[in-house]
Amino acid sequence: MKPNKLELSSVDGIQLNLEALYQIAPSCFTEVKDDKTGELRHVVNFKTLRQLLGDNAVEDADEMYQFTWPGKQEARREAARPTTKTLRPVVEDSVDWDNTQNLYIEGDNLEVLKLLQKSYMGKVKMIYIDPPYNTGNDFVYDDDFAVSQDDYDLFSGDVDELGNRYRKNTDSNGRFHSDWCSMMYPRLMVARSLLAEDGVIFISIGQGEVTNIVKECDEIFGSTNRISIVSRLMKSGGGKGQFFSPNVEYIIIYAKSISNVVGFREEISEEVIKKLYTSIETEGARKGEKYRPFGLYQSSLDARPNQRYFIECPDGSFVIPPGKTMPCSVEDGAMVYPNSDDGCWRWSRDRYLEEKANGNITFKKSDGVLVDQFGQPAKWNIYTKIWLADRQEGGATPVDLITKWENRQSAKELSELGIPFDFAKPIGLIRYLIALMPNTFNSIILDFFSGSSTTAHAVMQLNSEDGGNRKYIMVQLPEETPEDSEARKAGYDTIPEIAKERIRRAGKKIKEESPLTTQKLDTGFRVFRLADSNFEEVKKAPEEYDQSQLDLFLNNVKSDRTDLDLLFGAMLSWGVQLSLPMTSEEVDGKMIYSVNDGDLVACFADDITENIVKAMADKQPLRVLFRDSCFARDDAKINVFETLKQLLDWSEEEAIKNIKVI
């Protein structure tokens, strides 16, 4: 046997859907012969699937609830369509390349998300995006799925070096909302596949498309997985607007699977601490701790038979929540069965005694809320102690209105770094959203509309404060800065140039100011740039080529591509994460690369020797990769295959799976 070719395209979304359906309903699948390959493949028998669904299926009902727009079908197809593009490493733009686990990727985010699927599917804990708000001026990405090819060609002058079309989506466009929906839909579909089962996506959005993004997310994530629609004060004041001055935007929040998501908790602010946690314990095990007194009596609760009883106060008197019938003589704990309009305590008698024994009850002079055994206003009130330390550990439930971190703060934050850029999100807002989610310490945070990379800044800032090891992936189209902008005057021709410099300066500043400087704080990032395939397209039949072109069949790697280009392209194709550490070793004058101590071992040099093969096997690799041109003849390829199989004690099936060529 000889090693097979490595599949170089991204995930096929249709195949993913088939695999998911097969897990649920394998009986609706059958086999047919593929006309192109001659091999058998699985296909869906719709008749059987319909039988499984019974009456719960619909095709062309006259009336049914649905959200649609011109171009939706093509947008859905585009989400499933694989890409043959790749990501090229840009070491010279990176910081701490060898050690960092953070990624910054330049390129159209739809293509990039597809490329990340094999390596990061189900591994991203949180996604935050701040997409274009579609105001009539905002940048819109290159895909316009509803137009014909002829119409598409009309825009062919507005392309970048990769062939991506980009233009403004003005409000004079008759397909103003449809274009925006078609741009967002496939990106959200692919992004969902990257989320972990307990993952959450946060989407900042303005009023213009809030209803459409909610409908899209209800369809893609499921309406039952909608966590909230949060209002956010983006600015205060202002005199613009005919009826209202726009001061509010929204954050739409969805879970991959809401049943797997632990409730959000926020930090208790200093303002709340100063206002509510005003008491300090004077004795016992919690002496010196702050607490908040909270009344044991609550009139808003329904009267409960076991939660209305007398409590003895420090002066020997007895108190009880107010009610109609009161006996003249009682003792501590005497039960009074309430009428429907009688008050009661929040806790049962047993719970009260337990909390009192633990020092969680306090008595204070009364304001007349409670009554004594004679039905008169009591001299005491009874409070439970809500300990600040306990609340800080568990956090507080956030409200769905965010009033901090107005947008204008971001201009100051960037100005302090010497970066000229407007309209970024404040660091505090993104930091707050990340901190809401529990168990993110070692998680991956993704932002695929990353702009100036506020999200990367916020991740580093939060890590510096709590010792976390969160990693980020930033994706941004190389949009040019306006010619007359301060950014262009300062030498920043594109948004990624601004973002990369911001991360560099922010990381340096955070390290200088961080109280955790003795710990390892990752402020580096690996830069990648979206590019066409590393390989020349060979579409003609061999007889159509002249003699000078026949070497394309032996070596179809583009002349400007390096070993690192090939290595990272293979990592994407094989599902190996781009942030993993790597080493290189020279044997017999040829370079051997090892990713994450053997996750992938590769050699792309010509004339592979026996020493090279043995050195690769010594690393106990999980995967082995060569260039096809490493071997002068097929018999050399077969010999290497058999040698590795023997040295690594792999079965034939394991060797076929783990040894590949490109």
Nearest Cα neighbor of 233 from 249, 252, 217, 214 is 249
The region that residue 448 occupies, defined by phi over 0 for left and psi between -120 and 50 for alpha, beta otherwise, is alpha
pTM, 2 dp: 0.81
User: Is the pLDDT assigned to residue 149 strictly greater than 50?
Assistant: no
Residues 429 and 398 sit within 8 Å (Cβ to Cβ): no
Q: CATH no. for residue 197?
A: 3.40.50.150
One domain for residues 36 and 111: no
Task: Average the pLDDT over each of 17-26, 461-470, 553-562 and give the range with the smallest value.
Answer: 17-26
pLDDT score at 553: 45
Would residue 541 count as lying in a domain? no
One domain for residues 346 and 357: yes
Would residue 367 count as lying in a domain? yes
One domain for residues 138 and 45: no
One domain for residues 102 and 72: no
pLDDT score at 1: 64
One-letter amino acid at 579 equals S
One domain for residues 124 and 222: yes
**How many Cα atoms are found within 13 Å in the side-chain-facing hemisphere of 173?**
19
Q: Which of 347, 363, 394 is the last residue of a domain?
A: 394
pLDDT score at 255: 97
One domain for residues 92 and 32: no
Q: How far is CA 513 from the centre of its chain?
A: 27
pLDDT (mean) for 204-222: 93
User: Is the pLDDT assigned to residue 161 strictly greater than 50?
Assistant: no
- Mean pLDDT in the chain? 85
Would residue 1 count as lying in a domain? no
CA 514 – CA 511 distance, rounded (Å):
5
Q: Cα(first)–Cα(last) distance of the chain, in Å?
A: 16
One domain for residues 384 and 403: no
Would residue 125 count as lying in a domain? yes
One domain for residues 220 and 345: no
Q: Which of 56, 79, 102 is the last residue of a domain?
A: 79
Would residue 538 count as lying in a domain? no
> Residue 574: pLDDT band by 50, 70, 90 thresholds?
very high
Would residue 540 count as lying in a domain? no
Continuous segment of H or E residues that includes residue 526: strand 526-531
How do residues 575-594 score in pLDDT, each as one tens digit?
Answer: 999 999 999 999 999 999 99
pLDDT (mean) for 375-396: 88
Would residue 640 count as lying in a domain? yes
More confident residue, 202 or 32: 202
How do residues 275-322 score in pLDDT, each as one tens digit?
Answer: 999 999 998 889 999 999 999 997 777 767 788 899 999 998 899 988
Token pair of 611 as six digits: 């020493």
Would residue 223 count as lying in a domain? yes
One domain for residues 140 and 253: yes
> Residue 165: pLDDT band by 50, 70, 90 thresholds?
very low
pLDDT score at 322: 87
List CB contacts of 143: < 8 A, sequence separation 6 or more: 75, 78, 110, 182, 183, 186
List CB contacts of 161: < 8 A, sequence separation 6 or more: none
pLDDT (mean) for 237-259: 86
The tally of domains found in the chain comes to: 4
User: Is the pLDDT assigned to residue 144 strictly greater than 60?
Assistant: no
One domain for residues 109 and 254: yes
Task: Average the pLDDT over each of 177-191, 331-345, 348-362, 482-496 and give the range with the smallest value.
Answer: 331-345
Q: Which of 498, 531, 564 is the last residue of a domain?
A: 531
pLDDT score at 169: 54
User: Is the pLDDT assigned to residue 651 strictly greater than 50?
Assistant: yes
How do residues 106-136 score in pLDDT, each as one tens digit?
Answer: 999 999 999 999 999 999 999 999 998 766 5
Residue range of the domain that includes 35: 7-79
One domain for residues 446 and 312: no
One domain for residues 436 and 522: yes
Continuous segment of H or E residues that includes residue 280: strand 279-280
